[in-house]
Amino acid sequence: MPPMKSEKYQVPSEYPPHELGEIVRLGRAIVEQTNVHPLSKEYVGNSLTCSSCHLKAGTDPRAATFLGIATAYPAWSPREKRVITLEDRVLNCFMRSQNGIRPPLGSKVSTAITAYITWLSSGNAIRMNHEKPLGPNHVRPLKIRTELANAKRGATLFSNQCADCHGSEGTGSEAGPPVWGENSYNTGAGMSHNDKLAAWLKVAMPPDETNLSEQDALDIAAYVNSHDRPEFVLEEHLPETKQLGVYRW
């Protein structure tokens, strides 16, 4: 699903007026502070924020960007085997990448994040995706075959290029989030697959100084994902039935 040549995907110059603008601003705050923000922290089960993967609050044009992504929804999701909304996609990340509980549909945290992401698609044409729930600027897969991954080489690369921010034990620091262990993403997250993590690493790491070859990215991904992390069991990440959806905030 390549982007239209005539489209420009960029951060809008102004927030919407009145309460809508306030909700969009709130959405950005939650994206940047997901694990500690008062509205979202109860739904997060690790130390990650949305910005851990969607760099610069989703405004980095290459690293899992939010720019233009709302134009792709509703979209067919092979994983869920049904058509999902943008709100579904956002809430599913709480279950998987953030190893937490799915916030209720229509809740303030859900509405705010979705409003923020939608605002980042202002002015772009709707192009619902009938193949995958991906926007026009999604991270492209690497050309290298995943079976060529060398986790042993990845360990050396990680020590030399990643450990300063993410810790030699992968537990994270003030400069970077944990990449394995109980405070990182679970096995249901897309990043737990070497091909997806490698493709993201290639365009995102190190931030603003990307220098990894495809082989480097794949080897680091294999090393990172060779470590233990929480197992994903869907039933453990769903809210109580009475909290599946809300009407009032």
Q: Are 107 and 115 in contact (CB under 8 A)?
A: no
What integer pLDDT is reported at residue 243 of this predicted model?
84
Average pLDDT over every residue of 130-155: 97
Q: Are 205 and 162 in contact (CB under 8 A)?
A: yes
The three-class DSSP label of residue 94 is helix
Mean pLDDT of the chain: 95
pTM, entire model: 0.93
> Quick check: 128 pLDDT over 90?
yes
| pLDDT band at 205; cut points 50, 70, 90 | very high
What integer pLDDT is reported at residue 248 of this predicted model?
81
Q: Is the peptide bond preceding residue 78 cis, with omega within 30 degrees of 0?
A: no
> Quick check: 1 pLDDT over 70?
no
The tens digit of pLDDT for each residue in 60-76 reads 999 999 999 999 999 99
Closest CA to 113 of 138, 88, 130: 88
> Quick check: 5 pLDDT over 70?
no
Q: What letter would DSSP give residue 37?
A: S
> Quick check: 120 pLDDT over 90?
yes
Average pLDDT over every residue of 107-117: 98
The tens digit of pLDDT for each residue in 159-191 reads 999 999 999 999 999 999 999 999 999 999 999
> Quick check: 94 pLDDT over 60?
yes
Whole-number Cα distances in Å, 160 to 2, 151, 154: 35, 14, 10
- The tally of CA atoms less than 13 A away on the side-chain side of residue 12 is 18
Dihedral sign for Cα 172, 178, 181, 182, please: positive
Tokens representing 152 are 């042993």
The tens digit of pLDDT for each residue in 7-64 reads 889 999 999 999 999 999 999 999 999 999 999 999 999 999 999 999 999 999 999 9
- Number of other CB atoms surrounding residue 97 within 10 Å: 25
Radius of gyration (Cα) for the chain, nearest Å? 18
Dihedral sign for Cα 21, 22, 24, 25, please: positive
